[in-house]
């Protein structure tokens, strides 16, 4: 599967678009049906988190979602532009979000319960949440 990259306006209704594209990519990559629902929920949670952060800190910057399959499996990355170090620091929760959204750290805890292989990579411009699902072995030449 080629890499799919989405740039989404940070608005809640665009989370549905990310889930739809994610499910299509997962099915095309051969993710087993029992894991497709897991991907749908996890991608929705990660995108909702990013949308909330963007709405509070960078409303004019799109949320970036990348889907690809590689030798390690199906990889989904959701990149946000939130406060540096957000997922791992001890910042006052009231300063992290607008009070109407869920605390972004709670979303990470939910993701950790949904996906066995998750990485949170804080960077100078925000955070990348990387989710990975194993793909079934492919018959040589028939992918």
For 122, residues 6+ apart whose C-beta sits below 8 A from its C-beta are: 84, 85, 86, 87, 88
Report in angstroms the alpha-carbon separations of 73 from 83, 106, 107, 128: 30, 26, 23, 18
- Encode the chain (143 residues) as per-residue pLDDT tens digits: 679 999 999 999 999 999 999 999 999 999 999 899 999 999 999 999 999 888 888 899 999 999 998 888 899 999 998 765 444 444 444 444 444 455 555 567 677 777 888 898 888 788 899 999 998 875 434 44
Q: How many Cα atoms within 13 Å fall on the side-chain side of residue 21?
A: 18
Query: 4-133: what CATH class?
Result: alpha beta
Report the predicted TM-score, pTM, of the whole model to 2 decimal places: 0.79
Give, in degrees to the nearest 5, the angle at Cα 87 between 75 and 116. 40
Distance CA 101, CA 141 (A): 46
Distance CA 105, CA 124 (A): 18
Domain ranges of the chain: 4-133
């Amino acid at each position: 599967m080629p890499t799919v990259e989405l740039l989404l306006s940070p608005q809640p209704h665009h989370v549905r678009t990310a889930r739809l594209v994610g499910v299509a990519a997962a099915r095309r990559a051969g993710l087993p049906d029992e894991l497709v629902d897991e991907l749908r929920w996890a991608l929705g949670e990660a995108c909702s988190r990013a949308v909330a952060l963007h709405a509070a800190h960078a409303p004019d910057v799109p949320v970036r979602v990348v889907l690809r399959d590689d030798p390690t499996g199906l990889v989904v990355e959701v990149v946000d532009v939130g406060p540096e170090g957000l997922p791992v620091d001890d910042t006052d929760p009231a300063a992290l979000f607008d009070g109407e959204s869920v605390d972004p750290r709670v979303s990470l805890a939910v993701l950790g319960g949904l996906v066995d292989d998750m990485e949170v990579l804080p960077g100078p411009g925000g955070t990348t949440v990387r989710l990975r699902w194993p793909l079934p072995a492919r018959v040589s030449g028939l992918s």
